[in-house]
Amino acid sequence: MNILVTGARGFVGRNLVSQLRNIQSGKARCYGDVAVDAVLEYDVDSRTGELDEFCRVCDFVFNLAGVNRPTDPGEFMAGNFGFASTLLDTLKKHGNTCPVMLASSIQATLEGRYAGSPYGESKKAGEGLFFRYAAETGARVLVYRFPNLFGKWCRPNYNSVVATFCHNIANDLPIQVNDRSTELELLYIDDLVDEMIAALRGEEHHCEFEGVETVLKPEGRYCAVPTTHKVTLGEIVDWLGSFKEQPRTLVMPDIAPGSFAKKLYSTYLSYLPAGKVAFPLKMNADERGSFTELLRTENHGQVSVNISKPGITKGQHWHNTKWEFFIVVSGHGLIQERKIGTDEVIEFEVSGEKIEAVHMLPGYTHNIINLSATENLVTVMWANEAFDPGKPDTYFEPVK
CA distances from 336 to 55, 319, 326, 369, 376 (A): 71, 15, 11, 8, 18
Residue 68 has pLDDT above 90, yes or no: no
Give the CATH superfamily of 2-146. NAD(P)-binding Rossmann-like Domain (3.40.50.720)
Whether 2-146 shares its CATH topology with 283-396 is answered no
Pairwise CA distance, residues 350 & 333, whole Å: 5
Read off the pLDDT of residues 328-387 as tens digits, 9 standing for 90 and up. Answer: 999 999 999 999 999 999 999 999 999 999 999 999 999 999 999 999 999 999 999 999
Return the CATH class of domain 283-396: mainly beta
* H or E stretch at 210: strand 206-210
Query: Mean pLDDT in the chain?
Result: 94
**Termini Cα distance of the chain:** 70
Provide mean pLDDT across the span 96-111: 95
pLDDT of residue 71: 53
Q: Where are the domains of the chain?
A: 2-146, 283-396
268 is catalytic: no
C-alpha angle with apex 250: 244 to 251, nearest 5 degrees?
A: 80
The pLDDT confidence band at residue 83, using thresholds 50, 70 and 90, is confident
SS3 94: coil
Strand spans (E) along 228-312: 229-232, 251-252, 283-286, 289-297, 302-308
pLDDT of residue 31: 78
Angle separating helix axes 83-93 and 118-137, nearest 10 degrees? 10
CA distances from 116 to 122, 146, 149, 208, 393 (A): 11, 18, 22, 21, 65
For 375, other C-beta atoms within 10 Å of its C-beta total 16
Pairwise CA distance, residues 314 & 287, whole Å: 12
Do 90 and 54 form a contact (C-beta atoms < 8 A)?
no
The pLDDT confidence band at residue 119, using thresholds 50, 70 and 90, is confident
pLDDT of residue 69: 52
pLDDT of residue 78: 53
Query: Which candidate in 114, 133, 188, 222 is catalytic?
Result: 114
Do 168 and 156 form a contact (C-beta atoms < 8 A)?
yes
